[in-house]
């Protein structure tokens, strides 16, 4: 009996995965743009990058030392050093003027091209150069005091990247190492998928702009700020359009600007309140559906496609008004949409398994995203709740570094049980 009632309760609810799938089906990868390499950090490469030359471009020395022929130094020991005539010197950035012949050496610095005839580099430490300098003995000759294996300390042309080779593949999310590779190939600009512009409209007669003086019965708009910073963190360009009041005119005027963006986020007005105007206005501009998603927090959610200027369709996600709900819904639905537009292929957050330090209660069969602090103790992860889990308790989100997930069909997870945690942050001081 109980099970039946349970089914009935959730009959009109949408699973989290289904909601995400529906949402993502309305997003496309954006166009490519050309950008200075440093500004492309975190963006997705829009084309394969091929090298026109070898890197390194020539055989060069990995050490400060002497370029020699192995046969000239074979068997050298401190007691029986091999004496070589020094024919010249080559520094990084120069071209060698002398050839290395049997019984001779060329003094060479790290990164300098190896002179013709060289097959081995002997580092300074394996010569008597320091002693010679200290006792003012001529450096026109050098004693090799230790033999090194043939081929030592020569970095071969093309050993990093060969001419014609694909150095970076399309789809790579550019990280500092990749930006360095682009620079080493001589690129100053690169083609990447552009960042999406995400418009944000807060709605509600009760909202004040931070900086305004406080008024009885009113609260400050925090959602615009938490959402805009989340957009920024995940690679989008936020356009916070301020507060729309709970009337048609106010909402309409904000919306005009919102329709210029690649993606529109609104907060609040998606539950069954009397003054919720969002649905009426949005319905005038396109299709909009209101969902109950089987999750806690963030059950009420709206999604639609609005007709923007120049025949463009603009996907719209209506987030719940409660501050925790709007951020959790952002993580689960808006972040993947931003990633998809940016051309990323992995939408998941790093997920770990942790031992619960206190129980999570799941009263009505939804998927619970509990705000937790994850710590590492003796090599294991532990998760404890950030206090009151109400969807209006924004500090429960501010204090959290992860969202612990209690599955839909589990009424309680006990202390000591293993829980999956989606990490919001990966903090160096904890891990």
Residues in contact with ligand AMP by CB under 6 A are: 202, 204, 206-207, 219, 221-224, 267-271, 273, 320-323
Closer by beta carbon to ligand AMP, 96 or else 258: 258
Shortest Cβ 320–ligand AMP spacing (Å): 6
Smallest gap, in angstroms, from Cβ of residue 207 to ligand AMP?
5
Nearest-approach distance from CB 267 to ligand AMP, in angstroms: 5
- Partner in contact with 76, chosen from Mg ion, ligand AMP, none, beta carbon below 5 to 8 Å by kind: none
209 by Cβ neighbours in 10 Å (0-12 / 13-18 / 19+) ranks as exposed
Choose between 117 and 242: whose C-beta lies nearer to Mg ion. 242
Q: Which is nearer to Mg ion, 65 or 318 (CB)?
A: 318
Q: Which of 112, 201, 268, 385 binds Mg ion (CB under 5 A)?
A: 268
Backbone angles phi, psi at 257, to 5 degrees: -70, -40
Q: Which of 173, 168, 67, 184 is nearest to 127 (CA)?
A: 67
User: Which residues, numbered 190-229, are part of the site for Mg ion (CB under 5 A)?
Assistant: 204
Chain residue whose CB lies nearest ligand AMP: 321
Q: Which is nearer to Mg ion, 209 or 353 (CB)?
A: 209
Which of 24-32, 69-77, 132-140, 264-272 is the region at the interface with Mg ion (rule: CB under 5 A)?
264-272
Please, are residues 147 and 133 in contact by the beta-carbon 8 Å criterion? no
Which residue's CB comes closest to Mg ion?
204
Report the nearest approach of ligand AMP to the CB of residue 299 (Å). Answer: 11
Min. distance of Cβ 243 from Mg ion in angstroms?
A: 11
The helices-and-strands tally (H runs, E runs) of the chain is: 11, 28
For 139, other C-beta atoms within 10 Å of its C-beta total 12
Nearer to ligand AMP, 145 or 223 (CB): 223
Q: How many residues are recorded in the chain?
A: 431
- 204 versus 258: smaller Cβ distance to Mg ion: 204
Q: How far is CA 59 from CA 67, 99, 169, in A?
A: 12, 14, 26
- Residue 237: which of 192, 193, 197 has the closest Cα? 197
- Give the sign of the dihedral formed by CA 184, CA 186, CA 188, CA 192: negative
When the beta carbons of 207 and 261 are compared against ligand AMP, the nearer one is: 207
Q: Counting contacts by CB under 5 A, is residue 258 touching Mg ion?
A: no
The minimum distance between CB 369 and ligand AMP, in angstroms, equals 17
Binding mask 143-162 for Mg ion (x = CB under 5 A): --------------------
Place of tokens 């904890």: 430
User: How, if at all, do strands 313-319 and 60-61 pair?
Assistant: unpaired
Q: With respect to ligand AMP, which residue has the nearer C-beta, 329 or 338?
A: 329
Q: How far is the CB of 321 from ligand AMP (least distance, A)?
A: 3
How far apart are the two ends of the chain, measured CA to CA in Å?
46
List strand residue ranges (DSSP E) for 47-196, in order: 49-50, 60-61, 65-68, 82-90, 104-108, 120-123, 141-144, 154-155, 166-168, 189-193
SS (H, E, C) 189-254: EEEEECCCEEEEEEECCCEECECECCCCCCEECCHHHHHHHHHHHCCCEEEEEEEECCCHHHHHHH
Contact status, residue 155 vs residue 92, Cβ threshold 8 Å: no
Pick one of ligand AMP, Mg ion, none as the site partner of residue 145 (Cβ within 5 to 8 A by kind).
none
Nearer to ligand AMP, 258 or 320 (CB): 320
Residue closer to ligand AMP by CB (options 240, 419) is: 240
Q: Compute the distance between CA of residue 403 and CA of residue 423 in angstroms, rounded to an integer.
A: 6
**Closest by CA position to 223, among listed 328, 147, 341:** 328
Stretch that binds Mg ion, among 23-31, 210-218, 265-273, 401-409 (CB under 5 A): 265-273
Residue with tokens 């580092």: 123
Q: How far is the CB of 11 from ligand AMP (least distance, A)?
A: 23
Residue 244: closest CA among 254, 236, 235, 231? 254
Q: Which does 223 bind (CB under 5 to 8 A by kind): ligand AMP, Mg ion, none?
A: ligand AMP
Residue numbers of the site for Mg ion (CB under 5 A)? 204, 268
């Amino acid at each position: 009996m109980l099970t039946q009632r349970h089914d009935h309760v959730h009959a009109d609810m949408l699973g989290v995965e289904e909601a995400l799938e529906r949402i993502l089906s309305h997003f496309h990868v954006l166009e490519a743009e050309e950008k200075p390499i440093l500004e492309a950090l975190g963006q997705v490469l829009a084309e394969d990058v091929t090298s026109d030359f070898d890197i390194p471009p020539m055989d060069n020395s990995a050490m400060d030392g002497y370029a020699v022929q192995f046969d000239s130094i074979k068997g050298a020991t401190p007691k029986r050093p091999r004496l070589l005539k020094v024919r010249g010197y080559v520094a990084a950035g120069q071209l060698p003027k002398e050839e290395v012949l049997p019984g001779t050496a060329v003094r060479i610095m790290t990164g300098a091209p190896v002179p013709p005839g060289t097959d081995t580099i002997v580092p300074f430490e394996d010569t008597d150069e320091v002693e010679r300098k200290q006792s003012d003995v001529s450096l026109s000759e050098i004693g090799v005091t230790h033999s090194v294996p043939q081929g030592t300390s020569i970095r071969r042309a093309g050993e990093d990247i060969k001419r014609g080779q694909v150095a970076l593949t399309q789809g790579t999310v550019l990280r500092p190492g990749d930006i360095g590779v682009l620079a080493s190939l001589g690129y100053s600009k690169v083609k990447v998928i552009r960042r999406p512009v995400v418009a944000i409209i807060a709605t509600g007669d009760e909202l004040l702009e931070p900086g305004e003086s406080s008024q009885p019965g009113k609260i400050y708009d925090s959602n615009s700020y938490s959402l805009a910073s989340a957009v920024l963190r995940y690679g989008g360009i936020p356009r916070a359009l301020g507060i729309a009041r709970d009337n048609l005119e106010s909402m309409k005027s904000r919306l005009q600007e919102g329709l210029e963006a690649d993606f529109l986020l609104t907060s609040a007005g998606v539950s069954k309140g009397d003054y919720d105007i969002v649905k009426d206005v949005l319905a005038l501009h396109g299709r909009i559906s209101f969902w109950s998603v089987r999750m806690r927090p963030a059950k009420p959610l709206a999604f639609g496609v609005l007709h923007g200027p120049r025949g463009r369709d603009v996907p719209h996600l209506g987030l719940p008004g409660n501050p925790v709900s709007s951020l959790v819904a952002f993580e689960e639905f808006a972040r993947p949409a931003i990633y998809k537009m940016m051309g990323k292929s992995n939408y998941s957050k790093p997920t770990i398994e942790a031992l619960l330090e206190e129980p999570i209660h799941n009263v009505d069969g939804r998927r619970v995203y509990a705000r937790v602090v994850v710590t590492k103790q003796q090599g294991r992860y532990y998760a404890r709740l950030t206090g009151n889990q109400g969807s209006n308790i924004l500090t429960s989100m501010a204090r959290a570094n992860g969202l612990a997930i209690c599955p839909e069909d589990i009424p309680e997870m006990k202390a000591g049980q293993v829980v999956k945690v989606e990490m919001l942050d990966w903090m160096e001081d904890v891990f």
